[in-house]
Amino acid sequence: MKSRIAPWALLLALLSTYPGQSAGSGIDPQVESCIRKNAPEATAIQDIRLRSEGPMFEEKILTARVFWKHLPDGNSDLLAVFDEPEDISGSRLLFLEKRPENEIYLYMPALFKVRRITSGRISSSMYGMDFSYEDFQWLYNSLSTAMSEQRPDAVVDGEPVYVLAVVPAQGSGSKYGEVVSYFDKKSCVIRKVEFYGEDRKVHKVLSADPGAVKRVSGILVPHAFRMRDLKKNSETELTVTRVDIDPPIPDTLFDPTHLKESRGIE
């Protein structure tokens, strides 16, 4: 079964459709409804901590505040403001969901300059983490132009799960052939995501800790993830330290021309 769906975020519910948007006949309506119930109505703010380590480099720790907003046209915008480590403190990553291609902007205070991340660089590592710019898109905005299909149910760690697969849109610059996500059948919370390369082999695996799922403002929010890069033999832990569901967020926060400003960032 195939359908075009617009996801919000892995951290709340990867591949949940936007409010008001129907998945049509492609995704089982009961599955769609179950996943959607774990997504905010309009906005969200999260504080996150990224910790990466591997055999070829020392431990790295990043902290950031992430702002997300759903737009009336069905798209969404995302801003990540980093405050640790000191050498990137104040830097900002802005993701604007657009069709046919998302836009990514980076502001580095040391350079006092805003530059755009091209589609040819979205697979590059984000600040040396196991998450690339593209992976961060999958975490929060994903690619609304991607084609999804619901596949036969499976089992993860002894628990039954729903299975959804996404094929990145052509021209998006993605290095993935497909992304397969597994949702717990009881809670409809994400359990695992497999990132397949164009060679049809699994390159990365994102796992959610089922013991770190907390209810926030009536929705279930995973608070701990682990991204493993199978080719590099490295991994990054992502911990959600704070969640605010549907707070007011000004539109100007997602304006590339305002990236040098700190107004609205709290």
Residues 63 and 86 sit within 8 Å (Cβ to Cβ):
no
Q: What does pTM read for this prediction?
A: 0.81
**How confident is the prediction along the chain (266 residues), in pLDDT tens digits per residue?**
444 333 334 433 333 333 333 333 367 888 888 888 888 888 999 999 999 876 666 788 999 999 999 888 777 889 999 998 888 899 999 988 877 677 889 998 888 889 888 766 777 777 878 888 778 777 665 433 355 788 999 999 999 999 998 887 776 677 888 989 899 999 999 999 999 998 999 999 999 999 999 999 998 989 999 999 998 888 999 999 999 999 999 999 999 998 888 766 66
Q: Domain spanning 2-246: which superfamily? A: Lipoprotein localisation LolA/LolB/LppX (2.50.20.10)
Q: What is the sign, positive or negative, of the torsion defined by CA atoms of 150, 240, 116, 17? A: positive
Please report the DSSP string for 12-50 in residue order.
Answer: HHTTPPPTT---TTTS-HHHHHHHHTTS-SSEEEEEEEE
Cα 44 to Cα 40, 65, 124, 140, 210: the distances in Å are 7, 11, 26, 11, 21
Q: What is the DSSP letter of 139?
A: H
In the chain, what are the domain boundaries? 2-246
Amino acid symbol at 210: P
